[in-house]
A and B are shown apart, each in its own frame.
Chain A
Amino acid sequence: MSETTDLILHATARQLAAWVRSGEHTSVEVTEAFLDRIDEVDSTVNAFISTNREAALAAARRVDERVAAGEELGPLAGVPIAVKDLLCWNESPTTAGSRILEGWVPPYDATIVQRLLDAGLVIIGKTNLDEFAMGSTGENSAYGATRNPWDSSRIPGGSGSGSAAALAAFEAPLTIGTDTGGSIRQPAALTGTVGVKPTYGGTSRFGVIAMASSLDQPGPCARNVGDAALLHEVICGHDPADSTSLDAPVPAVVEAAELADVAGMRIGIVRELSGEGFSADVRQRFEESVELLKAAGAEVVEVSCPNFGYALGAYYLIMPAEVSSNLSRYDAMRYGLRVGDDGSNGVEQVMRASRAAGFGDEVKRRIILGTYALSSGYYDAYYGSAQKVRTLVQRDFEAAFAECDVLVSPVTTTTAYPLGEKVDDPVAMYAGDLATIPSNLAGIPAGSVPCGLGASDGLPVGFHIMAPAMADDRVYRVGAALEKALEARWGMPLLAMIHDSDAAQEARA
């Protein structure tokens, strides 16, 4: 690898955009560097389901022409980006990680994809994910498991496995994820990258293949807080094509990330999300981070959210219920896989055979669970009770935010575990999302920022920041302050240590 290529691959998105604007490097040069990197490493990482070199280079050339013409460009113009393969893009197949949609090319672009293109970002490909975004490990994709770039025998987290792993493997400087119960934040934590779930309704879900509509929210994934903020401002904002889209101004997240100052802020530690259930490695890095924020001038208080203990259960009733409803559209009639249509079978038999052949185990498990939760006789007990818990969780957040500006916790219960470890134990796998789920039930913004490496295993740990609805800027302000304090201590970003064992050793101490 040449020195220039190495410089490009490791640069921030902000820096890449500045180079493209100044003409120091062209967008074509930058885009080619990342496409070549994907060719070089993705057979191991498997972060991508598809790439589109032709469309990417055409988009990059258009940006370079605009630079040459002296046009004013947006803050991320010319920067490559990869998009979770759950978002429709008319230039490439959109599979949702499922066999049932293999090769399907959407007739339209998702609003987010359209906004990326309008802002001059260069889409290089579609990232791997757990099928229909169902899973916490990246192992449920019909296109093979994604591997963690820190240790390829381990999971990168899910469902946005590819979006996080692509960043950590330097295959893309920016990616888009979606978060239903933690699918942006959990893989960010396990790969040492940054991921933010905006306020529900802050980003459009139009053209995002639905899993659980009242919980799903797309958001930015990046290698540092500032880049995530720049991407946040590109993709957020009202969309008339999505009836749940918020018609309100986008919070000034770039300004907040640049401020990177917590002096005078009140930070609440959620008692129920900081002790039992979290590994010693995770707790240690979390506690150190809280101390750093305190040293930077924040006031730290402990708050209690007594109903969070029910959140996981409520989520695993509401989510599958919405899944069973949303996935009924895969009926083999208008698009997707069709099996058994040999003239001897009627429509129902074809549907049953097609869905059996097209869906993987985790998807079938959740559809059956959702069908049960919504069935007559159990609806009130399960689905109805879960919706009441949602009210209780929202009330807990309201009470907690009356006492502080943001809430913090670890993101995951452990660091990345070996592939295959929890495949046959769904309850254990689901429990890993303990800390991320409450914010999806309440629709509030939340993000994960890297806060160090586990002392015993040298794997990344994430720090979780939650803010009131429409106060996404606070997530960035605290995240950037912590990032600044930690990088000053380490002398480099966490991700720079990925293949430098001496630096990693020091960071673990």
Chain B
Amino acid sequence: MALTKDDVARLAALARIDLTDTELEHLAPQIDLILESVASVTEAAGDDVPATSHPIPLSNVFRADEARPSFPAEAMLAGAPAVEDDKFRVPRILDEE
């Protein structure tokens, strides 16, 4: 099943990226081609093969629950796109209605 322009628009919305019509037209066949070229992966392993998510076995890492100095607020706010009253200023979260 070929990926349509509308499918890519939906994926872009999920990924929070505005794409232009030209980008959607360009991307849909490219992603389709990539998916076609990786399709053999779906047939490579049977149910008996366990999945590996990580190249080395992971274990949980704990540290002592002790208070430590954190970055000063001004250092963290220095790279912010907008600041107000020593806080990150963000666009409105809720719609007016």
Contact = CB atoms under 8 A, between A and B. Distances in A.
A388 B92 contact: no
B11 A386 contact: no
Contacts, number: 178
B17 A356 contact: yes
Contacts of B56: 200-201, 244, 246, 443, 469
B30 A341 contact: no
B2 interface: no
Interface stretch (A225-233, A346-354, A398-406): A346-354
Contacts of A324: 15
B82 A391 contact: no
Interface in A246-267: 246
B38 A316 contact: yes
B67 interface: no
Given A351-B16, A356-B19, A389-B41, A426 B11 contact: no
Interface stretch (A25-33, A144-152, A331-339, A409-417): A331-339
Contacts of A331: 16
Interface stretch (A11-19, A38-46, A101-109, A501-509): A101-109
Given A240-B63, A382-B42, A367 B55 contact: no
Given A334-B88, A347-B90, A385-B42, A214 B34 contact: no
B19 A107 contact: no
A392 interface: yes
B80 A359 contact: no
B11 to A, nearest CB: 5
B17 A367 contact: yes
A418 interface: no
A283 to B, nearest CB: 23
A427 B79 contact: no
Interface in A161-184: none
B93 A346 contact: yes
Nearest to B88: A334
A477 interface: no
Given A346-B93, A353-B18, A359-B17, A388 B44 contact: yes
Contacts of B38: 312-314, 316-317, 382, 386
Nearest to A392: B45
A394 interface: yes
A355 B19 CA distance: 10
Contact of A389 (B27, B44, B61, B76): B44
A347 B76 contact: no
A34 B79 CA distance: 30
Interface string A213-240: 0110000000000000000000000001
B52 A391 contact: yes
Interface string B33-65: 111011111101100011111111010010100
B49 A365 contact: no
Contacts of B34: 316, 369, 426-427, 430
B49 A375 contact: no
A132 to B, nearest CB: 14
B40 A310 contact: yes
Contact of A384 (B19, B51, B93): B51
Given A324-B15, A334-B80, A364-B23, A307 B44 contact: yes
Contacts of B61: 240, 243
A442 B17 CA distance: 32
A50 interface: no
A140 B61 CA distance: 36
A107 B71 contact: yes
A345 interface: yes
A85 to B, nearest CB: 15
Given A201-B56, A369-B31, A469-B56, A386 B41 contact: yes
Please indicate which of the listed interface residues A243, A313, A317, A332 has the most CB atoms of chain B within 10 Å of its own CB.
A313
Contacts of A328: 15-16
Contacts of A488: none
Contact of A382 (B11, B41, B94): B41
Contacts of B42: 381-382, 385
B52 to A, nearest CB: 4
Nearest to A388: B45
A441 interface: yes
Given A243-B58, A392-B44, A394-B52, 12 more contacts: A214-B55, A310-B41, A313-B39, A317-B38, A331-B16, A364-B12, A368-B27, A369-B31, A371-B14, A389-B41, A392-B45, A427-B34
Interface of A: 104-108, 200-201, 214-215, 240, 243-244, 246, 307, 309-310, 312-314, 316-317, 324, 328, 331-338, 341, 345-353, 355-356, 359, 361, 364-365, 367-369, 371-372, 375, 381-382, 384-392, 394, 426-427, 430, 440-444, 469
11 contacts: A244-B56, A309-B40, A353-B18, A355-B15, A388-B49, A388-B52, A392-B44, A426-B34, A430-B34, A443-B55, A443-B56
Interface of B: 3, 8, 11-19, 23, 27, 30-31, 33-35, 37-42, 44-45, 49-56, 58, 61, 63, 71, 75-76, 78-82, 88, 90-95
